[in-house]
Chains A and B, each alone.
Chain A
Amino acid sequence: AEVDETLKRIQAHKGVIATMIINAEGIPIRTTLDNSTTVQYAGLLCQLTTKARSTVRDIDPQNDLTFLRIRSKKHEVMVAPDKEYLLVVIQNPCE
């Protein structure tokens, strides 16, 4: 229930298009998009997050990845990684 509330709050932010929770294996657990798009995002972002994390840790083993933001022409994809899960939010920031 708390989880739901938090997710709803995030979703209610201005410009947010979609929210997703993906597990460590890349399988989406919770999403507000349709299945095929979610699956696509899950696969791709999981790999990218792993790559980004390994990059950060290669440079400095004491460091770790806390947040990943991808800004594109149309919108911004924000990924908050954790040990087992990934929180992905797609927002349209242009005003």
Chain B
Amino acid sequence: IGHPEIFPLVFTTKTQEIFNCRVDEDVTEENCFKIIKKDDIIQDLKMRAAISDFHPVKRVILEYPGEELLVVFDANFQYGQNFYLVASEEAKENFLKPPDTAEEKEEKSEEEKERTLEVHAYKRSVHKPWVSLGSEKEVEEESVKGYVTKIKYMFSRARGKFGAPIRFTDRNASHVKDSYVECTSYQDKTFSIKLLERDVGVQMVPKVKEASTQTKWTYPKNAAMQYSPRQLSNEELEESLSSEKLKEFVTSVHLRMEIALQQNEIMNAFFDDWKALAENESSSGDKSDVYLQAYQSFTDPHYLKDRSISCVRWHPTIHGIIAESATQRYSDEERINPSDKLLLQDSVIIFWSFSDPTRPQLILECPHDIYCFQFSPSDPNIIAGGCFNGQLVLWDTSKNEERLQNAKSITVGVKKSVVNMDSASVVNPSENNDTSEPSYMEDDENDTEPPLVRYCACSSIECSHKTVITDIHWLPDHFEVNRTGITFENRAEICVQLVTCSPDCLILFWDIRVTKIPGKPLFEKAKEKKIFDMPPGVPDTFKHLALSWKPLLKINLRKSDTRMEYSPIKICLLEQHHHYKILDKAQSTNKQKALAKEKPYAKMSVPSKKPLKALESISNNFFVGTKDGEMIYSDWKIKIDSNSGKPPSHKYFIHDEAVNTVQISPFFKDIVLSVGGWNFAIWKEGVTDGPILESSCMTQRYTTGHWSLTRPGVFFIGRDDGNIDIWDLLKKTHEPSYFQHISESTITCISPWIASPKQQFLAVSDDSGVLHVLEICPILSQSSSNEQANVLDYFEREVKYLMNYEKYQEFQAKERTE
């Protein structure tokens, strides 16, 4: 149990009485040692044998060398029992001794406690007498004192022996014995022991090796290669052509080829009969199904009283906006003598919207009656109109563009303004953003009046036409014309030029950009230096043109035989816009925004120095319908002797009265429709013998005509009695296929418009100032798939027939002479 000399014992009370070691009487915790004689123990063992407490250690006791045994009272049960026997003399001694040290330790700890107690209760430190703790001994030990009496030695030598020359000699130490002591080396046996076994620790470490390489960094580089196809030289070509092999080849192959060609000619193997069957049925509808349904009609009692509508145009981009120009309605006498009758009312162009049939959306103010006008195809806010006195007028409606676009919500705004009857300020509907200039509003107080837009520019009276401008067109945006009539590429990509014609025998080309006219006399320059301020509220897009707008090019149509000239009424250029049927709205608004930011027309100038690419492929030709009913085909290239005017290439007498419509077909670039008098005619460019189709004289005058925008063989003709004739060339060519009664007075203008792929409108204006908008039924608006091919076929047939007819005529003439 740890200590081999210690034997724990249990002493019963009986044993304790016998040996006088009763707990708490003879033996206490402090005084825990009891010496017991060995003999006594042995006697006790004999007497009590097994029940004696010493029994377990009987052997130890008997072997114990000494006389007395130590028994210790173990109050803490340190060794497991309340007493223990110490079995050896040495241990006995140790046991008896340590209590001293224990006592000493106890004393010391008591003293320490006293001392600390003293420190805690702070008192002024009083000088205390030095208490020696035994450190003097240490000091004494460390101090150096002289122990030993010092021995003195004195050496002397005769004086004469000092300073004598010294002679050193060598002496070998090894010769003399004992002159040196050395420690020789010997082989120590301890180092020859072989190590047979050794404890070694091993650790596994992965081998790490750092290595680096440099790679070639390939970066993308553009490389281009130019190649051209291989071609045989001329000699090689000839050689191969004449080679035998080629001949054999051709003889063997041509039969196969001819069979294949003939197969194609005989029959179209891929023709889908099923599909073709369905289409044929749909195109031949009943007469009752074809109709022009009345959609809306617009009239305004204020502006259009006693007025006739001369021209109707749809707004190219905004849905449902249509503009019409109103002119004074003259009786026949007044027409003959256009005297200076006072115009009682302002001449206007009225904008209508589908959403509001009673109130015009916008009014454009004109200096005189406008007989015809056009929206600019590239910027629908620019409107050009031709006046009754020959002037050309421009408007810029960009400020009102938003209003027009929000036309549907204007009616709501009207209600708002009626409630707020503020007189001074202008109350605008919240949707209208750019009405910061109240000056152009005619009525400040009442917002129900449509805004009046004044014209931006008008041409100078001296240089314009002398009589009414009867036709005006914008030149397409892909070319432009310069002063000598040569067409150039138009870099600006917007329409900047106009062509007008009038019965004063002139066709004028105008440019809306700043023109530099060289060699102007001084006084004219001085006049122009006057800064012309536009009236407030009028956009200054065309400020540069104000009052001094001159035409770019003048063309005089002279009759070839006499000195007389033609008086053109309508003109149709054969080079048309590359226009799309339904303008992409997003595209157009972007273009407009780009234009609206600056004053493009003011900044653009006719490039005189910059070399523009001259376009050879643009056709300079045009068709003109004259007042006398002639159709003229000519081009505008000016010859060197330009003073004499230009004789036209071809002229035809077809109509009996003035031609009122000359229009190129939207499907075929060389088919032109002309309407005048009591008939109409269809022309093809290049066919110089005459029109390919000429209608017979009708009972009523034909006043206007227009091709259908979706069906190649259909066109609408308006009549004197308020009817519209619808001609379908694929059905009947001798009479109109359908007709419909629209109004009571003469139809003055027809204009179709595609609102959506399913909906087409036809705007018809008449002499009494009413504008009818009709919806075209699907049969008339949707074309079948091969209709264009069929119509083309028809035209070609007519052309051939015409040529044959001519030949036949010649033949007959020959026969007659013979």
Q: How far is the CA of A93 from the CA of B254 in the complex (A)?
A: 18
Q: Which of A3, A7, A67, A95 has a CB less than 8 Å from the CB of B268?
A: A95
Q: Which of A30, A87, A94 has a CB less than 8 Å from the CB of B257?
A: A87
**Is the beta-carbon distance between A87 and B254 smaller than 8 angstroms?**
yes
What is the chain A residue whose CB lies nearest that of B229?
A39
**Is the beta-carbon distance between A7 and B265 smaller than 8 angstroms?**
no
Interface string of B243-280 (1 = CB under 8 A from A): 00111011111101110111011001010000000000
Q: How far is the CA of A13 from the CA of B247 in the complex (A)?
A: 21
- The size of the chain A interface, using a CB distance under 8 A, is 37
What is the chain B residue whose CB lies nearest that of A87?
B253
Q: Which residues of A contact B253 (CB under 8 A)?
A: 80, 82, 85, 87
**Is the beta-carbon distance between A93 and B252 smaller than 8 angstroms?**
no
Interface string of A54-95 (1 = CB under 8 A from B): 000000000000110101000010101010110101010111
What is the chain A residue whose CB lies nearest that of B252?
A82
Q: Which residues of A contact B257 (CB under 8 A)?
A: 10, 78, 80, 87, 89
Q: How far is the CA of A27 from the CA of B256 in the complex (A)?
A: 22
Q: How far is the CA of A94 from the CA of B742 in the complex (A)?
A: 42
B 199-232 contacts with A by CB, 8 A: 229-232
Q: Which residues of A contact B261 (CB under 8 A)?
A: 10, 13-16, 78, 89, 91
**Is the beta-carbon distance between B265 and A93 smaller than 8 angstroms?**
yes
B412: Cβ under 8 A from any A Cβ: no
Q: Which residues of B contact A16 (CB under 8 A)?
A: 261
B730: Cβ under 8 A from any A Cβ: no
**Is the beta-carbon distance between A27 and B258 smaller than 8 angstroms?**
no
**Is the beta-carbon distance between A67 and B265 smaller than 8 angstroms?**
no
**Is the beta-carbon distance between A3 and B265 smaller than 8 angstroms?**
no
Residue from the set B250, B254, B258, B268 with the largest chain A CB neighbour count within 10 Å: B250
Q: Which of A69, A78, A82, A94 has a CB less than 8 Å from the CB of B249?
A: A82
Q: Looking at chain B, what size class is its interface with the partner chain?
A: 20 to 34
A2: Cβ under 8 A from any B Cβ: yes
Q: How far is the CA of A28 from the CA of B241 in the complex (A)?
A: 11
Q: How far is the CA of A6 from the CA of B270 in the complex (A)?
A: 28
A48: Cβ under 8 A from any B Cβ: no
**Is the beta-carbon distance between B232 and A29 smaller than 8 angstroms?**
yes
Q: How far is the CA of A10 from the CA of B256 in the complex (A)?
A: 11
Q: Which residues of A contact B245 (CB under 8 A)?
A: 84-85
Q: Which residues of A contact B264 (CB under 8 A)?
A: 15, 76, 91, 93
A23: Cβ under 8 A from any B Cβ: yes
Q: Which residues of B contact A42 (CB under 8 A)?
A: 229
Q: How far is the CA of A80 from the CA of B262 in the complex (A)?
A: 15
A9 to chain B, nearest CB (A): 8
B237: Cβ under 8 A from any A Cβ: yes
B 467-491 contacts with A by CB, 8 A: none
B522 to chain A, nearest CB (A): 57
Q: Which of A3, A93, A95 has a CB less than 8 Å from the CB of B246?
A: A3
Q: Which residues of A contact B232 (CB under 8 A)?
A: 23, 27, 29
B384 to chain A, nearest CB (A): 40
A 1-38 contacts with B by CB, 8 A: 2-3, 6-7, 9-10, 13-16, 21, 23, 25-30
Q: Which residues of A contact B241 (CB under 8 A)?
A: 3, 29-30
**Is the beta-carbon distance between A3 and B247 smaller than 8 angstroms?**
yes
Residue from the set B240, B261, B262, B264 with the largest chain A CB neighbour count within 10 Å: B264
**Is the beta-carbon distance between A85 and B249 smaller than 8 angstroms?**
yes
Residue from the set A42, A66, A78, A80 with the largest chain B CB neighbour count within 10 Å: A80
**Is the beta-carbon distance between B260 and A78 smaller than 8 angstroms?**
yes
Q: Which residues of A contact B265 (CB under 8 A)?
A: 13-15, 93, 95
Q: Which residues of A contact B229 (CB under 8 A)?
A: 27, 39, 42-43
**Is the beta-carbon distance between B231 and A3 smaller than 8 angstroms?**
no
Q: Which residues of B contact A84 (CB under 8 A)?
A: 245, 249
Q: Which of B249, B252, B258 has a CB less than 8 Å from the CB of A13?
A: B258
Q: Which residues of A contact B247 (CB under 8 A)?
A: 2-3
- Given A29-B240, A29-B241, A89-B261, check contact A10 B230 (CB 8 Å): no
What is the chain A residue whose CB lies nearest that of B270?
A71
What is the chain B residue whose CB lies nearest that of A85?
B249
Q: Which residues of B contact A93 (CB under 8 A)?
A: 264-265, 268
Q: How far is the CA of A95 from the CA of B789 in the complex (A)?
A: 10
**Is the beta-carbon distance between A21 and B230 smaller than 8 angstroms?**
no
**Is the beta-carbon distance between A6 and B254 smaller than 8 angstroms?**
yes
Q: How far is the CA of A87 from the CA of B259 in the complex (A)?
A: 14
What is the chain B residue whose CB lies nearest that of A92?
B264
Q: How far is the CA of A10 from the CA of B258 in the complex (A)?
A: 7
**Is the beta-carbon distance between B237 and A6 smaller than 8 angstroms?**
no
Q: How far is the CA of A36 from the CA of B340 in the complex (A)?
A: 67
What is the chain B residue whose CB lies nearest that of A16?
B261
- Given A6-B250, A43-B229, check contact A29 B237 (CB 8 Å): yes
Q: How far is the CA of A95 from the CA of B271 in the complex (A)?
A: 10
**Is the beta-carbon distance between B268 and A94 smaller than 8 angstroms?**
yes
A40 to chain B, nearest CB (A): 8
Q: How far is the CA of A69 from the CA of B260 in the complex (A)?
A: 9
B154 to chain A, nearest CB (A): 132
Q: How far is the CA of A49 from the CA of B192 in the complex (A)?
A: 97
**Is the beta-carbon distance between A3 and B250 smaller than 8 angstroms?**
yes
Residue from the set A2, A7, A29 with the largest chain B CB neighbour count within 10 Å: A29
Q: Which residues of A contact B260 (CB under 8 A)?
A: 67, 69, 78, 89
Q: How far is the CA of A26 from the CA of B229 in the complex (A)?
A: 9
A46 to chain B, nearest CB (A): 11
What is the chain A residue whose CB lies nearest that of B261?
A13
Q: Which residues of A contact B258 (CB under 8 A)?
A: 9-10, 13
What is the chain A residue whose CB lies nearest that of B245?
A84
B 699-752 contacts with A by CB, 8 A: none
Q: Which residues of B contact A69 (CB under 8 A)?
A: 260
B269 to chain A, nearest CB (A): 8
Q: Which residues of A contact B249 (CB under 8 A)?
A: 82, 84-85, 87
What is the chain A residue whose CB lies nearest that of B259?
A67
Q: Which residues of B contact A23 (CB under 8 A)?
A: 232, 240
Please list the 8 inter-chain residue pairs (A to B) with the smallest Cβ-Cβ separation, ordered nearest first. Answer: A93-B264, A39-B229, A80-B253, A13-B261, A85-B249, A6-B254, A82-B249, A87-B253
Which residues of A line the B interface, CB within 8 A? 2-3, 6-7, 9-10, 13-16, 21, 23, 25-30, 39, 42-43, 66-67, 69, 71, 76, 78, 80, 82, 84-85, 87, 89, 91, 93-95
Can you list 14 residue pairs at the A/B interface with Cβ under 8 Å? A3-B241, A3-B247, A6-B254, A13-B258, A14-B261, A23-B240, A26-B230, A39-B229, A69-B260, A84-B245, A85-B253, A93-B265, A94-B268, A95-B265
